[in-house]
Chains A and B, each alone.
Chain A
Amino acid sequence: MRIAGFVRGGRALAPLIAVLVELGVIYGGGASPAAVAYGYSAAALFPVLAWLTKLLLDTEPDVQRRLARLSVGPAREATGGLLAALVVALVVGAAAMAAPWLFHGIDPNKELASGMLLGVLAHLLAVPPAVAVGALASRAVTGSVRLGVTVLITAAVLVVVLGLSSSWAPWLVPPVMATARELADALPPTGSGVPPAGTIVLLVAWATAWCAVAFAGYGWLRRRRS
């Protein structure tokens, strides 16, 4: 019901245009190895997916959200919203992975197979934290448009600023920038094309732990703001 309302309401249009523009900028400059291109496209997608999530969760009027909560219970209502946002974000993520082939943005002669797999990983590492940020910025949690937008923009800026290699507290944000960097650093001639297994495990564990905290915070705030 949420996805149908979201799509029919036409509110998805603005962030989707932003995705297109972003991808056009990223891939417009010529072909690069898949791992590098996808690493940065996942990072660029992060704020847009968070925005999409906020829009999707905010589409439903507050009273309708309360009706839904009464119908299915608070836990299922909250999880339902997150799952709907996750589905939308995964679809957009998949479309973003297909897009560079239209723009000829990927060099098929350089580490293509491993680059594709690493690209999927980079997008999978970006989607759940983006959904978590969007959910934390949604009206059901923030209660006001101003606070919601502030949360969204602050999170998007912090992901970049604290994600830089010189960051003093990279663990405060999800490893979106870190993943993009590791994928680029692993390319030959400096690397084998694939980051070391230990690095991949660390990135996955980092993203999982960050999401666990963020989603737990979302659940707690939703329960408090009944």
Chain B
Amino acid sequence: MRFEGVWFRYARRAAWTLRDIGAAVEPGATVVVLGRNGAGKSTLLQLAAGVLRPVRGRVSDRPAIVGWVPERFPADQPFTAGDYLRRMALVRGVTDPHAADRWIERLLLTEHAATRLGDLSKGTAQKVGLAQALLLPPGLLVLDEPWEGLDAVARTLIPEIVAEVTHAGGIVLVSDHRGEITALPGAIHWTVSEHGLQPSPEKTPEGEVIVELAVRRSEATQAVAELRAAGHRVLRVKDPDADVRGAPVIAEPGRDPRARADRKPR
């Protein structure tokens, strides 16, 4: 699948959200789309899925079956979770009559199947959104902030499902602003900013493992520097209080300060 000179804006006189995006993804690849809030991650994903059409340029060679998990599941519908998924299976032309029930079971939705969509918690509604995208095995799976609101058990399901889709030759595009990318170690990273798309084509080496550490805030900068000096890659630095304080703990040397606000130094 390729983005060929894709430009997009939401209204005729609005500023461009995305400018001249050019990139290609091979079958079986996972792409994690990074970027600050409002950078256009969600827009890029919707262009990839075919939900939005480029104002200029085009997205070519998109697989026929696309599963899209929107950032916010549209829960304002008068259906129960089970009813909604069975209806979506019908709409999507799923021939397997048990497809909906299988995903209900796998995504631990069984006890919520009879609950109305509007009464579901955010995380459970997100799982319904995930299930509807998987009713047909997708050639392209687009996950917009899929970890948002999910509990610990459900979080582990995302890498599992991503791996299944890519092993079957499908493409997976995931956006992430919470720094969950460590859960997808083999992924390609794209960073969306006002300057366009900066693909980092090198995949994370397969032979690496991820070690999560906690360090004292006052020593964080030094710890990161020492780890880097020892040849390790620091994937992210997360400060639980940073959201409140609005500033990252660690400044990545030589980077645009706006990029630092993402708190995802690599």
Q: Which A positions have Cβ atoms within 8 angstroms of B?
A: 1, 4-5, 8-9, 60-64, 66-72, 226
Known: A70-B50, A71-B91, A226-B53. Is A61-B78 also a contact (CB below 8 A)? no
A4 CB contacts on chain B under 8 angstroms: 78-79, 87
B78 CB contacts on chain A under 8 angstroms: 4-5, 8-9
Sampled A-B contacts (6; CB under 8 Å): A1-B90, A4-B87, A8-B79, A61-B74, A70-B50, A71-B88
B51 CB contacts on chain A under 8 angstroms: 66, 69-70, 226
The residue of chain B having its C-beta at the shortest distance from the C-beta of A61 within the complex is B74
The residue of chain B having its C-beta at the shortest distance from the C-beta of A9 within the complex is B78
Contact check, A63 vs B72: say whether CB atoms are below 8 A apart: yes
User: What's the nearest-Cβ distance from chain A to residue B231, in Å?
Assistant: 44
Q: What separation, in Å, do the CA atoms of A96 and B76 have in the docked complex? A: 31
The residue of chain A having its C-beta at the shortest distance from the C-beta of B89 within the complex is A71
Known: A66-B51, A67-B132. Is A72-B91 also a contact (CB below 8 A)? yes
Q: What separation, in Å, do the CA atoms of A70 and B68 have in the docked complex? A: 8
Q: What total of chain B residues lie within 8 Å of the partner, measured CB to CB?
A: 23
Total number of residue pairs linking A and B with CB closer than 8 Å: 49
User: What's the nearest-Cβ distance from chain A to residue B50, in Å?
Assistant: 6
User: What's the nearest-Cβ distance from chain A to residue B3, in Å?
Assistant: 16
Contact check, B66 vs A1: say whether CB atoms are below 8 A apart: no
Known: A1-B87, A4-B87, A63-B70. Is A70-B49 also a contact (CB below 8 A)? yes
Contact check, B91 vs A63: say whether CB atoms are below 8 A apart: no
B200 CB contacts on chain A under 8 angstroms: none
Q: What separation, in Å, do the CA atoms of A226 and B132 have in the docked complex? A: 21
Contact check, A63 vs B74: say whether CB atoms are below 8 A apart: yes
The residue of chain B having its C-beta at the shortest distance from the C-beta of A80 within the complex is B91
User: What's the nearest-Cβ distance from chain A to residue B70, in Å?
Assistant: 5
Contact check, A226 vs B52: say whether CB atoms are below 8 A apart: yes
User: What's the nearest-Cβ distance from chain A to residue B23, in Å?
Assistant: 21
Q: What separation, in Å, do the CA atoms of A68 and B132 have in the docked complex? A: 11
B91 CB contacts on chain A under 8 angstroms: 1, 68, 71-72
Q: What separation, in Å, do the CA atoms of A67 and B68 have in the docked complex? A: 7
A62 CB contacts on chain B under 8 angstroms: 74
Q: What separation, in Å, do the CA atoms of A128 and B184 have in the docked complex? A: 52
A66 CB contacts on chain B under 8 angstroms: 46, 51, 68, 70
